[in-house]
Amino acid sequence: MAILDPHDYGLSDEERELAGMVRAFADERVAPQAYEADRTKTLPLDIVAEMGEMGLFGLPFPEDVGGQGGDYTALGLAIEALARVDQSIAITLEAGVSLGAMPVYRFGSDRQRKALLPDLLAGRALAGFGLTEPEAGSDAGATRTTARLEGGEWVIDGAKQFITNSGTAITRFVTVTAVTGHSGARKEISTIIVPSGTPGFTVGPAYDKVGWHASDTHPLSFSGARVPAENLLGERGRGFANFLSILDEGRIAIAALATGAAEGCLEAALDYAGSRIVFAEPLGSRQSIQFLLARMQQRVHLSRLAWLHAVRLRDAGRPFATAAALAKLTAGEAAMDNARDATQIFGGNGFMNEYPVARHYRDAKILEIGEGTTEVQLLLIARALGLTSLGSGARPAR
């Protein structure tokens, strides 16, 4: 029983080499520590440092800012390879690039880019993006965090939740969305860089999460936190719009992560079905198990095709938002379904956290929630079909 060659998807020689290198790193360095990191809920910073040395955090950035000169396809291949064995490490890379460094590269001033990007792209520092609040996320109009200019400084008050990479020992800053004014009844939302250790900026205790235990995630609070006026990231009033453009790319990266998780479940289930003896025969000799594994392979294959299609559109400069939504929807559900089926194949062992399928089962659920829920993806796809909610006035997605 063999899985289809994961590299036989129209990849270039350079892309195949990258995928193989990261897969080997995942198997040799990440997988052996995954259970202990999950059990202790600790992000292994030595692994993060090694990823930085490999250039993974700089993959989609040009060389003139310290990157590797690659594209989002390269980033997706690396994320997929890591997620096979440890979703927490994969999301640390994904968030470090998409939510930490990319907003600075895309919207930052020359001064901000020169000051912040070198360490971010080398994996020496991490950064978080503070969008979600207790009562706001996709609904920008519900944002309550505020920032006002006073004496050449932004004074920030409010709270954020579920912020990845926000409380590690190497977290350099978080970028937060805040209401900086009003245009009639409409809120003006901007993004502001808040360095770690800023007085009035508090990182709350890490969440006790269902999964992604080794990923760093915290609530944040701001009480009169002051930062220089030049810490505004991008144009004032464009904060949420800028984030949405980042979010489309992030959905592709999450789809790649989910594809890796689905494949990791398949690989583990294949190995177990071949070695587990039941009534003097390998478990995999039973047709019911074979059909489960065939379905799992189908999901991996379709998920990989979906995210690769979306990322090729993105890298070619073509509209890709709908393809990203399709990929995220397809791969997120595939990861959850494969985790469920793999756990069933493992039986009682699948309920033990020392086995990777148990961790994937806990980890995979967030892939149907984060970076836009399944329902949000369905809404975007429906809009692309020209459908709108009654009275919404929504326009088709690009």
CB 269 within 8 A of CB 282: no
Judge whether 393 lies within some domain: no
State which residues form the domain around 208. Answer: 127-237
Residues 300, 379, single domain; the answer is yes
CA distance 346 to 351: 8
Judge whether 8 lies within some domain: no
CA distance 274 to 388: 49
Judge whether 44 lies within some domain: yes
Judge whether 106 lies within some domain: yes
Judge whether 331 lies within some domain: yes
- Share above pLDDT 70 across residues of the chain, in percent, rounded to a whole number: 95
Neighbours of 210 (CB within 10 A): 11
User: Could you confirm whether 371 is annotated as catalytic?
Assistant: yes
CA distance 2 to 159: 49
Residues 351, 227, single domain; the answer is no
Residues 131, 224, single domain; the answer is yes
Last residue of a domain, one of 237, 256, 271: 237
CATH number for the domain that contains residue 198: 2.40.110.10
Judge whether 19 lies within some domain: yes
Residues 210, 113, single domain; the answer is no
- Alpha carbons within 13 A on the beta-carbon side of 306: 30
Last residue of a domain, one of 186, 211, 237: 237
What does DSSP assign to residue 281?
E
Residues 6+ apart with CB under 8 A from 47: 29, 30, 33, 89
Residue 52: its H or E element: helix 45-53
pLDDT of residue 3: 52
Residues 220, 317, single domain; the answer is no
User: Is pLDDT above 90 for 256?
Assistant: yes
Residues 223, 283, single domain; the answer is no
CB 26 within 8 A of CB 149: no
- Alpha carbons within 13 A on the beta-carbon side of 124: 6
Residues 255, 370, single domain; the answer is yes
Residues 251, 233, single domain; the answer is no
CATH number for the domain that contains residue 346: 1.20.140.10
CATH number for the domain that contains residue 119: 1.10.540.10
Residue from 80, 133, 249, 371 carrying the catalytic annotation: 371
Considering just the CA atoms, what is the radius of gyration of the chain in Å?
21
DSSP string, 101-148: IHHHHHH--HHHHHHHHHHHHTTS-EEEEE--BTTBSS-GGG---EEE
Residues 279, 207, single domain; the answer is no
- Share above pLDDT 90 across residues of the chain, in percent, rounded to a whole number: 84
CA distance 94 to 264: 18
**What is the rounded average pLDDT for all residues in the chain?**
93
Residues 43, 117, single domain; the answer is yes
Dump pLDDT digits (tens) for 115-167.
Answer: 999 999 999 999 999 999 988 766 767 899 999 999 999 999 999 999 999 99
The predicted model scores a pTM of: 0.93
pLDDT of residue 31: 98
Last residue of a domain, one of 186, 206, 237: 237
Number of domains in the chain: 3
Residues 277, 357, single domain; the answer is yes
Dump pLDDT digits (tens) for 159-205.
Answer: 999 999 999 999 999 999 999 998 877 899 999 999 999 999 999 99
Residues 113, 135, single domain; the answer is no
What does DSSP assign to residue 60?
T
What's the rounded mean pLDDT across residues 320-330?
Answer: 97
Q: Which of 1-5, 44-48, 265-269, 277-281 has the lowest mean pLDDT?
A: 1-5
